[in-house]
A and B are shown apart, each in its own frame.
Chain A
Amino acid sequence: MAERTVRTGNRPLALYAALYLGFLYVPVLFLPLFSFNDSIYISFPLKGFTLEWYRSMAGNEPLLRALMNSIKVALATATISTVLGIFAARAVTRYRMPGSRPLVAAIMLPLVVPEIILGTALLIVIMQAGGTLSLLTVTLGHVLLCVPFSMAVLMSRFEGFDRSMEEASADLGENAWWTFWRVTLPMAMPGIVASFLLCFTISFDEFIMAFFLGSTDPTLPVFMWNQLRFPQRLPGVLALGSCILVVSFFVIALAEWLRRGSSSSTSGAQ
């Protein structure tokens, strides 16, 4: 029924949707397309099929180093953000604290503050404090960006909790510490994994903070941006970009699947 309504009644809307999606995703698809093109120039017509750009990636020392940097920063960011997110989300969903609403708003603020402002502000603070820019400062910036996402994922998870689960654990002889480890954490695990994957991807892709707060030892997005100045290296960047695209897609899909798929089991008795 619904399908028929769309097909017959909303032809202009369907066209609009197609154009919208095309505008959004076709440019992205050029990335893998040209990464297999046997030419250093990004233009049509395509010259021929090659895996050269993928092969050369493997021997590109600075590229691999930037990739490792990004993975390190993303792992650290995802871990720290998720741990902070667990405690904060637990606190605001479980306890009625005075001022918890403004507190949540404050934590969520980086979602709406332009990154360039945050980046500049953090840079000034770090410089004033006599700090040196490194992967550590990038990680700090990324944690600031990721905690809101982690909070949002975990709060929705904790809000679905049947409170009597934790009471049942206490009733069966476990104190708050063991209850957390044996009941709260395992039940929140799908949310925790989802938060971790989400934060990892955000940090891995992030440019502005990494650009402002990074040293000469860049993360991958910054490295790629530097490469764009050299036309002959562009196809290599395209190949790398394609790889990241595929990996990101699967990571996000996995996170979303985990978040949704198991939300039905949180309430337990129902």
Chain B
Amino acid sequence: MTESIISLAGVTKAFGAFRAVDDVSLDIARGEFFSLLGPSGCGKTTLLRMIAGFEVPTEGSILIDGVSMETVPPHLRPTNMVFQSYAIFPHLDVARNVAFGLRKERLSRDETRARVGEALEMVKLSGYESRRSDELSGGQRQRVALARALIKRPKVLLLDEPLGALDRKLREEMQLELRTLQRSVGITFVFVTHDQEEALTMSDRVAVMSAGHTAQVATPRDLYERPVSVEVADFIGKMNFLPCRLLESNGDRVTVDAAGLGRVAAVAPRPLPAGADLVVAIRPEKLTLHTTEPEASARVTCRMQNTAYLGDRSHYFVDIDGAGRPLAVSAQNADAAVARELAAGSGLWLSWAEDALLVLPATS
């Protein structure tokens, strides 16, 4: 079941001289929860709209289930969409909204009612059949939009930032629910979001987009642990960067001379281009602060510069000689006494695991 349901090859969308989507090629597997992640204006929504058929690619091809979509208008595509505004028809009640796409199936009244009931049950809105759209909350509208799309049993469900308008608590609830729903119906979801946390929590795979191209397509774990560029590393989570110089390289294992850290072992997720400026990248939570000299071989002394208390954890900013900029360190506040000692401390030590350091080209 790993064959691809959507296959994009060299897809480009130009508006005049501006290339909103620039040569994107990717395959989305059947049954996958796939996210397009990026800041606003990165082309993710345009890409989604091209899959739906609302925008025509300037170049490149889109295959859905092996069929070229070049001449297929939106209303004949095996995709359905949940719009960012939900686009609930204001002149119809919930049941008629959900049943909108069933006209061509020529179902009897009872069959239609059964299908609508089934779809509403799936999104936990049973009993709302006769409500009008202005009597629904944001979360309920979103569920109606979802039911209306899923009742068509599409091969692919496209979701355009569907959780953007919801408040934080509801959003987290819906994330979980959407994920559960996707697993139970087994339909491929293509999910557009600018929220990296959302993309990481929900997706099987994520395409990070930037300025119209895909910066990296990977599982959430790989995106976080093995970003292939400074761009991705910087966009997903927090990351410390220090300039470095390559000393030795043996496959993906490398040795570099990093500012402030000295000669250290690191990992290169991608082969490094010869002669390029390099940086060492490390996540704040992979650095550990100590008040006494640690056992670990990868360690340096440091001074506390600043502390940000976040409740469950604290962010420390520490200075290292020769680094030129403070490093962010994140630590759980499991022990209040330790946290206080660190915050007040001087003569601290910093340590890290050897494979926590990544070496990336400074510019992509």
**Interface on A for B, CB 8 Å cutoff?**
162, 164-165, 167-175, 178, 182-183, 186-187, 189, 264-266, 268-270
Contact = CB atoms under 8 A, between A and B. Distances in A.
B75 interface: yes
B54 interface: yes
A175 B85 contact: no
Interface string B93-111: 0000000110110000000
A74 to B, nearest CB: 28
Contact of A164 (B85, B90, B104, B149): B85
A268 B101 contact: no
Contacts of A269: 85-88, 133, 141
What's the dominant secondary structure at chain A's contact region? helix
Contacts of B84: 164
A173 B133 contact: no
Contact of A266 (B53, B74, B90): B90
A25 B80 CA distance: 58
Interface in B241-266: none
30 contacts: A162-B85, A165-B89, A167-B81, A167-B83, A168-B81, A168-B89, A169-B89, A169-B100, A170-B54, A170-B74, A171-B75, A171-B81, A172-B75, A172-B101, A172-B148, A173-B76, A173-B101, A173-B103, A174-B75, A174-B101, A174-B103, A175-B73, A175-B75, A178-B103, A186-B91, A187-B90, A189-B91, A265-B90, A265-B91, A270-B85
B283 interface: no
A268 B88 contact: yes
Nearest to B138: A269
Tell which of B53, B84, B100 has the most Cβ of chain A within 10 Å: B100
Interface of B: 52-54, 73-76, 79-81, 83-91, 100-101, 103-104, 133-134, 141, 148-149, 152
Contacts of B87: 162, 164-165, 167-168, 268-269
B143 to A, nearest CB: 14
A170 B75 contact: yes
A268 B89 contact: yes
Contacts, number: 80
A177 B33 CA distance: 34
Contacts of A183: 89
Contacts of A182: 100, 103
Contacts of A270: 85
A172 B80 contact: yes
Contacts of A167: 52, 54, 74, 81, 83, 87
A171 B84 CA distance: 14
Nearest to B141: A269
A173 B154 CA distance: 11
Tell which of A164, A173, A175, A270 has the most Cβ of chain B within 10 Å: A173
Contacts of B54: 167, 170
Given A165-B87, A168-B87, A175-B73, 4 more contacts: A168-B83, A182-B103, A186-B91, A268-B133
Contacts of B81: 167-168, 171
Nearest to B99: A172
A183 B85 CA distance: 16
Tell which of A164, A169, A171 has the most Cβ of chain B within 10 Å: A171
Tell which of B54, B79, B89, B91 has the most Cβ of chain A within 10 Å: B91
Given A171-B75, A269-B141, A164 B83 contact: yes
B88 A172 contact: no
A164 B148 CA distance: 14
A112 B346 CA distance: 82
Contacts of A187: 89-91
A171 B83 CA distance: 10
A127 to B, nearest CB: 47
Nearest to B165: A269
A95 to B, nearest CB: 15
Contacts of A165: 87, 89
A164 B86 CA distance: 8
A231 B133 CA distance: 60
Contacts of B103: 173-174, 178, 182
Contacts of A178: 103
Contacts of A169: 89, 100
A162 B252 CA distance: 52
Contacts of A265: 90-91, 134
Tell which of B52, B81, B87, B149 has the most Cβ of chain A within 10 Å: B87
Contacts of B80: 171-172
A264 B288 CA distance: 56
A264 B100 CA distance: 22
A247 B296 CA distance: 93
Contacts of A172: 75, 80, 100-101, 148-149, 152
A216 to B, nearest CB: 47
Contacts of B85: 162, 164, 268-270
Which 4 A-B pairs give the minimum distances between C-beta atoms?
A: A172-B101, A269-B85, A168-B87, A164-B87
A216 B141 CA distance: 60
